[in-house]
Chains A and B, each alone.
Chain A
Amino acid sequence: MKNKNIILLATATLIVTNIFTGCKKDDDDPTNPGTPNESELITTAVLSFTDSAGVAPDVTAIFRDTDGDGGAAPTQFDTIRLQNNTTYFMDVLLLDESGSPTDTISNEVEEEAVDHMFFYTQSGVNIATTYLDSDSNGLPLGLQTRWVTGNVSSGTSTITLKHQPGVKDGTQAPGETDIEVVFESRVE
Chain B
Amino acid sequence: MQSVALIAQCTLEMKGTVVDADTREPLGYSNVVIVELQKGAATDESGNYIIKGICPGNYTVRVSHLSCESKDFKLEITADLVRNFELPHSLNELKGVSISAERQKDIPTQAVQEITGEDLDKTRGSSLGESLKGVTGISELKTGSSVSKPVIHGLHSNRVLILNNGIRQEGQQWGSEHAPEIDPFIATQLTVIKGANSVRYGSDAIAGVILVEPAAMPDSAGIRGELNLVGFSNNREGVVSAIAEQRFEKIKALSWRLQGTLKKGGNTKTPDYYLKNTGYEEENFSWALGWNKPTYGLEVFYSQFNSSIGIFSGSHIGNLTDLQAAFDRDEPLEQSGFSYHIDRPFQRAEHELLKTKGWLLTGTTGKFSVTYARQYNLRYEYDKHRPLNDALAALNLPELTYEITSHSVDLLWEHNSYKGFTGMVGCSGMTQGNTFEGRKFIPNYINNTAGLFVVERYRKNKLLLEAGARMDIRELTVYEKENGIVNSYEYNYQNFSGTTGVIYDITKNIRISANLGTAWRAPAVNELYSDGLHHGAAAIEIGDTSLVPEKSWNAIVSAMLFDHSRFAIEISGYYNLINDFIYLKPVLPPTLTIRGAFPTYRYEQADATLKGIDAMVRYHLTAHTELHVRADIVRAFNEEANDFLQMMPADHFEYGATINLPEWKKTKSNHLMVSVNQVLKQYRVPDEADYVAPPSGYVLLNAEAGTILTFGKQAIHLSLNVTNLLNTSYRDYLNRFRYYADEQGRNVSLKIKVPFQFAKKN
Binding site for B on A (CB under 8 A): 1, 3-4, 7-8, 11, 14-15, 18, 22-26, 28-40, 42-45, 63, 65, 68-71, 73-74, 77, 103, 105, 108-109, 111-112, 160, 162-163, 165, 167, 173-174, 176-182
Task: Please report the number of residue pairs spanning A and B whose Cβ atoms sit closer than 8 angstroms.
Answer: 175
Which chain A residues border B96 with CB–CB below 8 Å?
none
B331 vs chain A, min Cβ distance (A): 12
B486 with A33: CB separation less than 8 A: yes
**Which residue from B334, B374, B436 sits with its C-beta under 8 Å from A23?**
B374
- Whether A179 contacts B595 by the Cβ 8 Å rule is yes
Question: Cβ of B598: which chain A residues have Cβ within 8 Å of it?
Answer: 69-70
| Contact between chains at B444 and A42 (CB < 8 Å) | no
- Decide if A33 touches B594 in the complex (CB within 8 Å): no
Query: In the complex, A39 Cα to B392 Cα: how many Å?
Result: 8
Residues on B with beta carbons closer than 8 Å to the beta carbon of A38: 439-440
* Partner of B317 from A31, A37, A176 at Cβ < 8 Å: A176
Q: Smallest Cβ distance from B100 to chain A, in angstroms?
A: 21
A23 touches B542 (CB 8 A): no
Contact B435 A29, beta carbon cutoff 8 Å: yes
| Chain A residues, Cβ within 8 Å of B374 | 23
A32 adjacent to B486 (CB under 8 Å): yes
Residue numbers in B under 8 Å from A179 (CB-CB): 594-595
* List of A residues within 8 angstroms of B444 by Cβ: 28, 30-33
Would you call A69 and B435 a contact (CB within 8 A)?
no
Instruction: Please state if A18 and B287 are interface contacts (CB–CB under 8 Å).
Output: yes
The size of the chain B interface, using a CB distance under 8 A, is 70
Interface residues of B in 402-440 (CB under 8 A from A): 403-405, 433-440
Q: Which of B223, B325, B378, B488 contacts A31 (CB 8 A)?
A: B488
Contact with A along B5-25 (1 / 0, CB 8 A): 000000000000000000000
Q: A29-B435, A31-B444, A33-B479 are in contact. Are A178 and B318 (CB under 8 A)?
A: yes
Dominant SS among interface residues on chain A:
loop
Chain B min CB distance to A89 (Å): 23
Q: List 25 A-B contacts (CB under 8 A).
A: A1-B758, A15-B256, A15-B289, A18-B287, A22-B304, A26-B433, A31-B446, A31-B479, A33-B444, A36-B438, A36-B440, A39-B438, A39-B439, A40-B389, A69-B593, A70-B591, A70-B593, A71-B532, A74-B594, A103-B389, A173-B333, A174-B333, A176-B384, A178-B595, A180-B321
B residues contacting A by CB (< 8 A) are 1, 223, 244, 246, 256, 258, 287, 289, 302, 304, 316-319, 321-322, 325, 333-334, 350, 352, 354, 374, 376, 378, 383-385, 387-390, 392, 399, 403-405, 433-440, 443-446, 477, 479-481, 486, 488, 531-533, 540, 542, 591-596, 598, 600, 758, 760
In Å, the complex CA distance between A112 and B444 comes to: 35
Q: Judging by beta carbons under 8 Å apart, are B446 and A30 in contact?
A: yes
When distances are taken between beta carbons in the complex, the residues of chain A under 8 Å from B440 are 36, 38
Nearest residue (CB) in A for B488 is A31
Report the Cα distance A162→B321, complex, angstroms.
11
Q: How far is B318's CA from A176's CA once the two chains are assembled, in angstroms?
A: 5
Given A69-B540, A176-B384, A179-B594, decide whether A28 and B399 contact each other with a Cβ distance below 8 A.
Answer: no
A8-B480 Cα distance, complex, nearest whole Å: 50
A1 to chain B: closest residue by CB: B758
**In the complex, what distance in Å separates the CA atom of A68 from the CA atom of B304?**
38
Contact B439 A24 (CB under 8 A): no
Assess the B486–A177 pair: CB atoms within 8 A. no
Q: Are A11 and B387 in contact (CB under 8 A)?
A: no
Q: Which 4 A-B pairs have the closest CB atoms?
A: A177-B318, A36-B440, A108-B388, A28-B435
For A25, list chain B residues within 8 Å (CB). 376, 405
